[in-house]
Amino acid sequence: MENTVSDVSNLANVALTKGTDLAVTYAPKILGALVVWIIGKFIIGKIVKLAGKSVDKSKIDSTLAPFIKNMIRYVLLTLLALSVVGILGVETTSFAAIIAAAGLAVGMGLQGSLGNFAGGVLLLIFRPFSVGDVIKAQGYEGQVEEILLFVTRLKTLDNRTIFIPNGPLAGGPIENYSKEEWRRVDMDFKVGAGQDVDQARKAMVQALNGVNGVTSSPAATVAVTGLTEYATQLQARPFCKPADYYNVWVDCQEAVKKALVANNIQGPVPSQNLYMHNSK
C-alpha cells in the first residue's frame, strides 16, 4: 500500500515538473504571440484607415477603391498571421507547405468562388462598367452599387438588391446603358390604317418635344415601322440622358396618347365580316 502511494506521488511530481517546464517554455511564446497579434491588428487597422483616406483623396476611381482597401487588409493580416506562427515556434517553410496543400484542397472545392474572384479582377481591369452605371446582365437590370471581390451588387428600378457572381458576369454579355452620352427611347404606337400618317407623326413629335428630359439634339423622330390590314405602326424615337431614361419613357407614353386623342387620330379597329348562309 505504501509503495502504491509512493508511485502515485512520484507520478504527480513528474507531471507537475513536466507541466512547469512546458509552461516555462511555451508560456512566453504564447504570451508574445498574443501580444504581437493584438498590437499587429491595431497597427493594421491604423494602416488600412490611413490607406483608405489616401485612396479616397486620390483620383482612383470609386470602383477600384474598395478593392484596393480590402487587398491591403488581407495582405497585412496574412503577414501578421505568419509572424505569430513563427513566434510560436512553427517553421514558416513547413507552414507555407501546409498552406499550399490546404489551398490546393480548398481550391478544388471552391472552384466557383475562385472563378468569381478571377471575374472580379477582370471586371476591375477591363472596366466594362463602373459604380453608378446602369447595366443589364445575367437577366437583371439595375444600377451598379458596388463591385466586390466575388459579387457585384445591383439596385433594380423597383428597389431590389441583386448580387450577381462575378464569374458569370465577367464571362457573359453586358449591356451598359451609361457609357454613351445619349440614349434613344423606342416606343411603338398603332393608329388606324385609314388615318393620316403625316398628321399623326406631326402630333407625336410635338408631344415628344414637350416632355421634360427629351433632347433637342439629337432630335426626336417618328418612323413607320409596320403595316397591317387594320393598323399603321409608328415608332417614337426621342433621345435623353441615360439617367433620365425611365422617366422619359413613362412621360412620353402619356404625352403621345393625349396628343393622338386631341388630334382625333383613331387607333386600329379590326373589322369582321358577317356571312349569312341561306339553307334553302
**CATH 2.30.30.60 for domain 129-176:** yes
Identify the residue whose cell numbers are 454613351.
Answer: 180
Q: What is the pLDDT of residues 33-48, one digit of tens each?
A: 787 788 888 888 888 8
> 246 pLDDT exceeds 70?
yes
Mean pLDDT, rounded, for 198-210:
95
Residues in the chain: 280
Closest by Cα among 257, 236, 243 to 213:
243
Sign of CA dihedral 134, 135, 141, 147: negative
Q: 64-73: which pairs have CB atoms within 8 A and are 24 or more residues apart?
A: 64/124, 66/146, 66/147, 66/148, 67/120, 67/124, 67/147, 67/149, 70/149, 72/47, 72/48, 73/44, 73/48
Tell me the backbone φ, ψ of residue 154, rounded to 5 degrees: -115, 150
Q: In sequence order, which ranges of the chain are alpha helices (DSSP H)?
A: 2-57, 65-87, 92-109, 111-126, 166-171, 197-209, 245-262
* More confident of the two residues 57 and 226: 226
Task: Among 5-14, 72-81, 260-269, name the most confident range.
Answer: 260-269
Identify the residue whose cell numbers are 498590437.
Answer: 39
Mean pLDDT, rounded, for 186-202:
93
Residue 215 vs residues 42, 183, 223, 237: alpha-carbon distances, Å: 54, 10, 18, 11
**Sequence spans of domains, the chain:** 11-109, 129-176, 183-262
How many CB atoms within 10 Å of residue 159? Answer: 7
Mean pLDDT, rounded, for 100-109:
58
Residue 54 vs residues 62, 67, 92, 125, 139: alpha-carbon distances, Å: 13, 14, 33, 21, 37
Confidence of residue 114 (pLDDT cuts 50, 70, 90): confident
* More confident of the two residues 30 and 275: 30
pLDDT for 30: 76
pLDDT for 19: 54
Q: Exposure of 56 by Cβ count < 10 A (0-12 exposed, 13-18 middle, 19+ buried)? A: exposed
> 3 pLDDT exceeds 70?
no
How many CB atoms within 10 Å of residue 230? Answer: 14
Q: In sequence order, which ranges of 88-226 are alpha helices (DSSP H)?
A: 92-109, 111-126, 166-171, 197-209
How many CB atoms within 10 Å of residue 176? Answer: 16
Give the fold, CATH level 3, of 11-109.
Helix Hairpins (1.10.287)
Please report, as a single letter, which amino acid is at residue 59: K
Confidence of residue 177 (pLDDT cuts 50, 70, 90): very high
Confidence of residue 200 (pLDDT cuts 50, 70, 90): very high
pLDDT for 97: 62
pLDDT for 148: 84
Asked whether the beta carbons of 60 and 127 are under 8 A apart, the reply is: no
Specify the CATH number of the domain 183-262: 3.30.70.100
Q: What is the pLDDT of residues 126-140, one digit of tens each?
A: 889 998 999 999 999
Answer yes or no: same fold for 11-109 and 183-262.
Answer: no
pLDDT for 275: 62
> 25 pLDDT exceeds 80?
no
Q: Which of 7-11, 167-171, 198-202 has the lowest mean pLDDT?
A: 7-11
> 216 pLDDT exceeds 70?
yes
Confidence of residue 165 (pLDDT cuts 50, 70, 90): very high
* More confident of the two residues 97 and 196: 196
pLDDT for 51: 77
Asked whether the beta carbons of 135 and 123 are under 8 A apart, the reply is: no
pLDDT for 93: 62
Q: What is the mean pLDDT of the chain?
A: 81
Closest by Cα among 244, 246, 182, 251 to 218:
182
